[in-house]
Amino acid sequence: MLCQSCWPEAHFFAGSVCNGCGVPLPGQVEETDLCESCHAHPVPWSRGRSVGLYEGPLRRMVLALKHGDRQDNAQHMARWMAAAGEGLISDESLLVPVPLHWGRMVRRRYNQSVLLARALARESGGEVVPDGLQRVRATKSQKDMRRTERFENQRSAIRPHTKRSALLADRPVVLVDDVMTTGATLSACTEACFEAGAKSVSVLVFARVARLA
């Protein structure tokens, strides 16, 4: 939760936004309009939304949830995600969190994206499939990677869960994550969802990183 003094520092997205990643667009735009980044690098999902920019208070909330064991942050973050993603989630939707590799899961003890997906379901409905996807290969940290390196790092790393893939077939899927940078991880997840037969795939994240080359 943000304190009163943090509110002015938080960069929330509002008004007309990019249909691919949710960043604000100037002036009057069509529902299908994209930002410059999504035009240059088309995303494989149909619609994407995010709450705000990954900096300042919003960044601190993400880091506290992910590394500081502030699991209570998930419910507050999910409320804003539900507002940003209005129209993305229906009663038919499957909320599928971005998976962690089992090795990282052991170290962290929980997947922050699963917490967000479950909190989102309480806010907006939809059914959560916490293990709809699985990360079959441990990937390197992407902190200092460029765009092309991030996509290569995620290649063949994510697959539909062998025992859950049938649940995704012919269903609208909403992928849930805490942060979007280049969209490499979410693209790999989208491909895995379509491999499982998903009817459509949308993306809902808490924060969007500024453009990365």
Burial 90-108 (b: 16+ CB within 10 A, else e): eeebbbbbbbbbeeeeeee
Q: Provide the pLDDT for residue 103.
A: 79
Strand 94-97 relative to strand 158-160: parallel, antiparallel, unpaired? unpaired
Q: Provide the pLDDT for residue 26.
A: 85
For 14-47, the DSSP string reads -SSB-TTT--B-SSS--TT---HHHHHS--SSSE
The number of helix segments (H) and strand segments (E) in the chain equals: 8, 7
Compute the Cα dihedral for 107, 114, 116, 139 and give only its sign: positive
Q: How would residue 20 be classed by pLDDT, with cut points 50, 70 and 90?
A: very high
Q: Provide the pLDDT for residue 2.
A: 65
List the domains of the chain with CATH numbers: 11-208 (3.40.50.2020)
The SS3 assignment for 66 reads: helix
Cross-strand bridge partners of residue 49: 204
Reported as a single tens digit per residue, the pLDDT across 126-165 is 999 999 999 988 776 777 677 777 777 678 778 999 888 8
- Residue 110 has a CB neighbour count (10 Å cut-off) of 14
Cross-strand bridge partners of residue 95: 128, 174
CB 89 within 8 A of CB 120: yes
The SS3 assignment for 190 reads: helix
* CB-facing half-sphere around the CA of 200: CA atoms within 13 A: 11
Mean pLDDT calculated for residue range 10-27:
89
